[in-house]
Amino acid sequence: MDRDSPPNWNFFGTVERLIKATESLLDQHAGHGGVDCDLARNMITRLTVIMEDAAIYTTREDKERRDALEARLKSIRDRLDVVDKPSERIRAERLMLGGNRTQFGRVPV
């Protein structure tokens, strides 16, 4: 691919679909006892990389649309930070360790 030519795909459409999928993941699981935080964080990371890589190809006219997508991505990050509470991870860590016992040289949480 020529470095000066844009990628041969609909950038905004793809990113919008990925953002919708991430939002629906957070919405679906919020009421059902938990979100797959690793999956959501992975999706957010991939979206961030895609947007950073494609930034050189977006024109000035696309800046407004890109800013709107970045705002949505930021709101998703904020929602995930609220959902992904450290206390929840600690509780899961304790379950994996079998209570307060140390295992494999790990300190109990």
Residue 58 to residues 43, 44, 47, Cα–Cα distance (Å): 21, 20, 15
Supply the pTM of this predicted model: 0.58
pLDDT in tens, the chain (109 residues): 455 555 555 777 888 888 898 888 888 766 555 667 778 888 888 888 888 877 777 766 678 888 888 899 888 888 887 766 655 544 544 444 444 444 444 545 4
Give dist(CA 83, CA 59) in Å, integer: 35
Amino acid identity at 86: P
Q: Which residue's entry shows tokens 């860590």?
A: 93
Using alpha carbons only, give the angle 93, 97, 98 rounded to the nearest 5 degrees: 115
